[in-house]
């Protein structure tokens, strides 16, 4: 009874405490440190007002401001931010020695670059408010980069070869060496195959041990020229002796003959012999040679025959030779080949556009080259020299079969 009385008294005396204890547990949980059931709408609305404004690429947001300002143009900097939405900032030009090459909201411009003369650099264009200094290399040099800086190096000269690609910007010259020469990488020169020792030259000199010394080649050349000179002297002497004896011992005048080669005579014995001869000739195939009707010289001899053998030079302007040239040269080397013959890129492009098949375009290019000034011998020498220069000397034998 005492316990029941105590409980009733406690509830009657402390009703507020009871109500507090009667609050459900979920209502006592906190969200972000705030009790459930409290009115927090005004607090959150205040926080949403501090969210940063969204600006485009051509705008910027000033510090401690909630609006966007347009950026200054190239060559200018911001002296004072704009005062509100739709207002423009105060922009001033970059000072001397500084630049700004993009739209910006910077308070300072960037310092101009100074070309490093100790590296061989030169100033191609001076610094302006909207553009930095442009540094480069003098003519005949190329850029060799080392990190952000570059050094100007002298372009390689193609001795004993031709330029496949010219020296330009940051690219050195690429050389195409002549036949029997190889490109020495460290020295950047074309060296003769007789000096080939390592693996760097085996592609250009497949049999370096068989390549003769240039001095030996010169000796063979002089030997061949000497033998040719001796043969020419012998031929001239023989020709002179022939002319001398022909003039000293002229041939007797020819007697007139009849239709079967007989000489008329009134002697009966000769007639008998002629009759026997005719009888013998009837059993054989006789070929009657008509004598020359050329007038005799004063000494009674016939004029000497013209023994000068004049041969016309081989002509390249035939369909057989043109197609032989086209078939001999690899298609990937054709452009280099016709450019070395002297054809311009305009002629090459025009020929390719005017013909549906590339073989017809190649034929047209050769026709243009053959119609230019120069005789057959000159054209032939030019053709063979170009093939040797581009290491296609093996094509010469195929082409000569059609000449």
From CA 205, how far away is CA 178, in angstroms rounded?
11
Residues of CATH 1.10.533.10 domain(s) within the chain? 319-400
- Average confidence score pLDDT of the chain: 75
Residue 114 has pLDDT above 90, yes or no: yes
Name every residue whose Cβ is closer than 8 Å to that of residue 36 and which is 6 or more positions away in sequence: 26, 27, 28, 29, 30
What pLDDT, in 10s, does the model give residues 154-187?
A: 998 888 888 888 898 889 888 888 888 888 877 7
Residue 389 has pLDDT above 70, yes or no: yes
The answer to whether 104 and 119 have CB atoms below 8 angstroms apart is no
Mean predicted confidence (pLDDT) in 290-312: 50
CA 169 to chain centre: 16
The answer to whether 274 and 266 have CB atoms below 8 angstroms apart is no
- Tell me which range, 65-74, 218-227, 316-325, is most confidently predicted by mean pLDDT: 65-74
In this prediction, residue 14 has a pLDDT band, given cuts at 50, 70 and 90, of: very low
CATH number of the structural domain 319-400: 1.10.533.10
What pLDDT, in 10s, does the model give residues 330-376?
A: 999 999 999 999 999 999 999 999 988 889 999 999 899 888 877 88
Instruction: Report pTM.
Output: 0.37
In degrees, rounded to 5, the angle at the alpha carbon of residue 255 between the alpha carbons of residues 253 and 260 is 140
Residues of CATH 2.10.50 domain(s) within the chain? 117-154
In this prediction, residue 284 has a pLDDT band, given cuts at 50, 70 and 90, of: very low
From CA 393, how far away is CA 202, in angstroms rounded?
18
Mean predicted confidence (pLDDT) in 119-132: 94
CATH number of the structural domain 117-154: 2.10.50
DSSP string covering 12-73, please? HH-HHHHHHHTS-SGGG-EETTEETTS--HHHHHHHHTTSPPP--TTEE--TT-SS-EEPBP
Mean predicted confidence (pLDDT) in 191-199: 80
Instruction: Report how far apart, in Å, the C-alpha atoms of 233 and of each of 159, 179, 237 are.
Output: 39, 34, 6
CA 300 to chain centre: 72
């Amino acid at each position: 009874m005492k316990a029941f009385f105590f409980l009733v008294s406690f509830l009657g005396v402390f009703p507020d405490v009871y109500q507090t204890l009667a609050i459900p547990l979920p209502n006592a949980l906190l969200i972000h440190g705030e009790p459930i059931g409290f009115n927090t709408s005004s607090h959150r609305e205040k926080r949403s007002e501090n969210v940063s404004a969204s600006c485009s690429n051509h705008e910027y947001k000033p510090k401690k401001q909630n609006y966007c300002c347009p950026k200054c143009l190239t060559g200018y900097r911001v002296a004072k931010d704009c005062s509100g939405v739709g207002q423009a900032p105060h922009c001033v030009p970059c000072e001397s020695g500084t630049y700004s090459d993009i739209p910006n909201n910077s308070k300072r411009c960037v310092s101009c670059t100074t070309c490093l003369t100790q590296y061989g650099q030169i100033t191609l264009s001076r610094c302006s408010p909207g553009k930095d200094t442009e540094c480069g290399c003098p003519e005949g040099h190329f850029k060799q980069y080392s990190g952000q800086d570059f050094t100007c190096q002298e372009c390689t000269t193609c001795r004993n070869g031709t330029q496949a690609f010219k020296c330009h910007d940051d690219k050195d010259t690429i050389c195409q060496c002549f036949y029997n020469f190889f490109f020495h990488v460290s020295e950047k020169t074309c060296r003769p195959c007789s000096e080939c020792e390592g693996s760097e030259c085996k592609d250009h000199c497949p049999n370096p041990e068989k390549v003769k010394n240039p001095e030996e080649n010169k000796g063979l050349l002089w030997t061949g020229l000497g033998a040719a000179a001796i043969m020419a002297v012998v031929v001239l002497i023989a020709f002179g002796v022939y002319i001398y004896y022909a003039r000293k011992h002229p041939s007797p005048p020819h007697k007139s003959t009849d239709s079967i080669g007989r000489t008329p005579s009134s002697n009966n014995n000769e007639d008998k012999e002629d009759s026997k001869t005719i009888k013998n000739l009837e059993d054989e195939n006789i070929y009657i040679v008509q004598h020359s009707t050329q007038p005799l010289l004063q000494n009674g001899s016939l004029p000497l025959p013209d023994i000068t053998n004049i041969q016309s030079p081989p002509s390249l302007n035939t369909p057989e030779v043109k197609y032989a040239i086209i078939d001999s040269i690899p298609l990937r080397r054709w452009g280099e080949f016709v450019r070395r013959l002297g054809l311009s890129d305009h002629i090459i492009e025009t020929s390719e556009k005017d013909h549906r098949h590339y073989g017809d375009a190649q034929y047209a290019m050769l026709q243009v080259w053959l119609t230019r000034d120069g005789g057959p011998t000159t054209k032939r020498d030019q053709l063979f020299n170009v093939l040797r220069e581009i290491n296609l000397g093996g094509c010469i034998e195929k082409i000569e079969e059609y000449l």
